[in-house]
């Protein structure tokens, strides 16, 4: 009869018992790993409307979007085509306008990511009477050229909100804030086909979008910022006082110091509707703040309009963060000043990247296009966990 080695029974029992003992620690480890699993990425880029062939900012954008394309959404934050959106067929500027738009769409298409374009004031023909037609032409071109994974939202010239639930931890709410400023024809209550087409309805529906997020972080994306340390927020640098013609063409470095200071004074008096000092802009900010009051605070209000990269911490009652990502093409940057609440402010071409994890952790990184591969210039945690 074969004899079993000494201790054989104890060894066998231990071998059978160890997996049972390890079951709970392994599951805990798996849970920890799941908590840090990347759920969704937002790439925020605005004021992209004048890209050059081989545009470095779009190269950085495409590289980032290609990393995890299945869970990445690129958000173009308005002013997608300079100077006046998409002109009618037959217009001499139509071919160049299409080239500028298609160059952006191609970057998203090649990456395999999802793309959303929000209209800005330039896309509405700079607020001219035919602006509604211009934004509808852009929407039609996007639908025709880019396929189902890229769209212009809100559509039809409607103010929104359009809602995209990108993951169990992230909701994207899209607004066309130029609708608010548009003086010419636009979808208007009670004759439009928009679900929301009046100022009061906009406030109500924004409140609903925030309140129904179901434990998700909410990012509201629109062209116009609510807070900014750039020119639209009334902050100017010495270059604007000395070279005012660069407001018309950024290549016109003609020194006109007295004229420049007068123009800066003119802008800070709120004469232009698209500056925060104006009455229409102040009314928009009041409407948004009123809609947010009493609702779950959005994680961030993401915008363009000022051509810089800014990360600004919000005060209690409003969005937790204000993000400005308007450095959409190299050479188009405008000055920026750090506000007391600013955590990052740079006049540079680039994008902002927001990553949301299964745990609810939200991390933001500013990536400048000052080098061919892009440079991670700033990173912070917007939220350590769920809202």
Bridge partners of residue 365, in order along the sequence = 353, 379
Bridge partners of residue 42, in order along the sequence = 73, 354
Q: Could you tell me the pLDDT band of residue 10, with boundaries at 50, 70 and 90?
A: very low
Architecture of domain 37-234+275-383: 4-Layer Sandwich (3.60)
Q: CB under 8 Å to 31, separation ≥6 — which residues?
A: none
> pLDDT (tens digit, 9 = 90+) per residue, 224-237?
999 999 998 766 66
Q: CB under 8 Å to 118, separation ≥6 — which residues?
A: 75, 76, 77, 78, 152, 153, 174, 175, 176, 221, 222, 223
Residue 185 has pLDDT above 70, yes or no: yes
Q: Give the C-alpha separation, 236 to 49, whole Å.
A: 22
Long-range contacts of 154-158 (CB under 8 A, 24+ apart): 154/194, 156/187, 156/193, 156/194, 157/119, 157/132, 157/186, 157/187, 157/194, 158/187, 158/192, 158/194, 158/195, 158/196, 158/197
As a whole-number percent, the residues of the chain with pLDDT over 70 amount to 81
Q: Give the C-alpha separation, 341 to 166, whole Å.
A: 29
CA-atom Rg of the chain in angstroms: 24
| Range with the poorest average pLDDT among 189-198, 212-221, 317-326 | 189-198
The domain limits of the chain are 37-234+275-383
What does each C-alpha distance from 87 to 100, 157, 159, 305 come to in angstroms? 12, 16, 21, 21
Across the range 45-61, mean pLDDT stands at 98
**Contact call for residues 380 and 311 (beta carbons, < 8 A):** yes
| Range with the poorest average pLDDT among 26-30, 52-56, 171-175, 368-372 | 26-30
Place of tokens 């000494």: 6
**Contact call for residues 162 and 171 (beta carbons, < 8 A):** no
Residue 9 has pLDDT above 80, yes or no: no
Across the range 253-257, mean pLDDT stands at 66
Place of tokens 């950085």: 60
Task: Say what the pTM is.
Answer: 0.87
Across the range 150-166, mean pLDDT stands at 97
Helices (H) and strands (E) in the chain, counts: 9, 14
pLDDT for residue 372: 87
Residue 99 has pLDDT above 70, yes or no: yes
The DSSP code for 260 is: H
Across the range 6-15, mean pLDDT stands at 45
> pLDDT (tens digit, 9 = 90+) per residue, 256-296?
665 556 666 556 665 677 888 999 999 999 999 999 998 99
pLDDT for residue 13: 45
pLDDT for residue 232: 83
């Amino acid at each position: 009869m074969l004899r079993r080695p000494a201790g054989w029974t104890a060894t066998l029992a231990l071998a059978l018992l160890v997996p049972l003992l390890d079951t709970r620690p392994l599951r805990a480890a798996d849970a920890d790993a799941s908590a840090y699993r990347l759920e969704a990425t937002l790439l925020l880029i605005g004021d992209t409307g004048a890209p050059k062939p081989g545009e470095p900012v779009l190269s950085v954008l495409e590289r980032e979007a290609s990393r995890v394309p299945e869970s990445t959404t690129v958000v173009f934050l308005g002013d997608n085509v300079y100077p006046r959106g998409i002109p009618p067929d037959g217009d001499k500027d139509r071919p160049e306008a299409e080239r500028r738009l298609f160059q952006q769409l191609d970057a998203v298409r090649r990456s395999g990511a999802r793309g959303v374009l929000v209209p800005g004031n330039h896309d509405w023909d700079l607020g001219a009477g035919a602006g509604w037609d211009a934004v509808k032409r852009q929407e039609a071109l996007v639908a025709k050229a880019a396929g189902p994974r890229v769209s212009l939202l809100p559509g039809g010239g409607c103010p929104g909100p359009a809602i995209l639930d990108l993951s169990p931890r992230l909701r994207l709410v899209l607004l066309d804030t130029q609708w608010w400023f548009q003086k010419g024809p636009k979808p208007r209550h009670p004759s439009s086909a928009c679900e929301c087409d009046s100022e009061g309805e906009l406030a109500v529906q924004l409140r609903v979008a925030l309140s129904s997020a179901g434990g998700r972080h909410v990012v509201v994306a629109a062209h116009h910022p609510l807070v900014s340390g750039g020119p639209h927020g009334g902050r100017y640098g010495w270059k604007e006082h000395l070279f005012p013609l660069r407001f018309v063409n950024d290549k016109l470095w003609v020194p006109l110091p007295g004229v420049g200071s007068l123009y800066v004074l003119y802008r800070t008096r709120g004469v232009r509707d698209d500056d925060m000092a104006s009455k229409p802009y102040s009314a928009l900010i009041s409407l948004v703040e009123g809609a947010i009051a009493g609702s779950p605070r959005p994680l961030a209000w993401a915008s363009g309009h000022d051509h810089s990269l800014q990360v600004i911490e919000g005060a209690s009652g409003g969005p937790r963060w204000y993000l400005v990502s308007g450095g959409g093409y190299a050479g188009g940057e405008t000055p920026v000043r750090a506000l007391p609440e600013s955590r990052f402010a740079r006049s540079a071409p680039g994008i902002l990247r927001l990553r949301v994890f299964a745990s609810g952790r939200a991390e933001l990184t500013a990536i400048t296009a000052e080098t061919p591969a892009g440079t991670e210039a700033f990173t912070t945690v917007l939220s350590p966990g769920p809202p």
